[in-house]
Structure 1
Amino acid sequence: MDNKNPPQTIDEYIARFPEEVQVILQEMRRTISAAAPEAVEAIRYQMPTFKLKGKNLIHFAAFKHHIGLYPTPSGITAFDKELAPYKKAKGSAQFPLGKPVPYDLVRRITEFRVGEEG
């Protein structure tokens, strides 16, 4: 990511990636937006972010080999078993590029986070 010229919108962020990654990022955006219709789009930490009631709800980002999802530690813990096939950390999960992204799981994690913040 270009630290000297960070993206100001999710559209700008997505446009910086190859077309095949853009397709995944757009689907992540649609999935999260549908699961959190009250959320507002933003860029935080140079990543696409959805905010709810002024708080960061969930972030996602593209990297060389994966798509990262950042639903806070509670969003990871609540879906620990379903996220078991993926590399994860305290507040993040990685979905490898070249493999299907579990959009249904992303939707359910987002809905969980909405319930927490709602």
Structure 2
Amino acid sequence: MVADHDAYIAEAPEDLRPLLVRLRAQLARALPDAEEVIAYKMPGFRIGQSIIAGYAAFSRQCGLYLSPSAIKSHADDIGRGRAQVYQDWRHLLAEPADP
């Protein structure tokens, strides 16, 4: 089991590590009051008991996962962090690795 975000990124495919570092930094800036956690075997950001966002690496791509109920219930906290909150959260961002 992975202990923290640094360990997760270190174990990811080498060509995806820079993207994971960028995702982590962008989420940390957008969610300054969130705690970094490992949940569901991937790095995430939690406010209270809610996982707001998580990211993951696969063999050829990375994904960003947003929780609709968490975003809605913590919109004020997220807004104070200057994050842009989308009503339609169903965006999975993936960037394929170069072949």
- Structure 2 unmatched runs, 5+: 72-85
| CA separation of 1:79 and 1:72: change in aligned 2, threshold 3 A | closer
Write out the 4+ residue segments of structure 1 that deviate beyond 2 Å after TM superposition. Answer: 73-77
Taking only aligned residues, the RMSD between alpha carbons, in angstroms, comes to 2.2
SS at match of 2:55: strand
Q: Deviations over 1:15-40 (max 9, x none)?
A: 00233211110100000000000000
Work out whether residues 16 and 97 of structure 2, in 8 Å CA contact, stay in contact via their aligned partners in 1: no
Could you tell me how far 1:70 is from its partner in structure 2? 1.1
**Residue 95 of structure 2: aligned partner:** 96
In the TM superposition, 1:6-21 aligns within 5 A as: 6-21=1-16
**1:72-83 equivalence runs, <5 A:** 72-73=67-68, 78=88, 83=91
8 Å Cα contact 2:57-2:63 kept in structure 1: yes
Mind listing any 5+ residue stretches in structure 1 that lack a counterpart?
1-5, 84-92, 100-118
Query: How many percent identity over aligned positions?
Result: 30
TM-score w.r.t. the length of structure 1 is 0.61
Query: How many pairs are equivalent?
Result: 83
Query: In structure 2, how many angstroms separate the alpha carbons of the residues matched to 1:43 and 1:11?
Result: 11
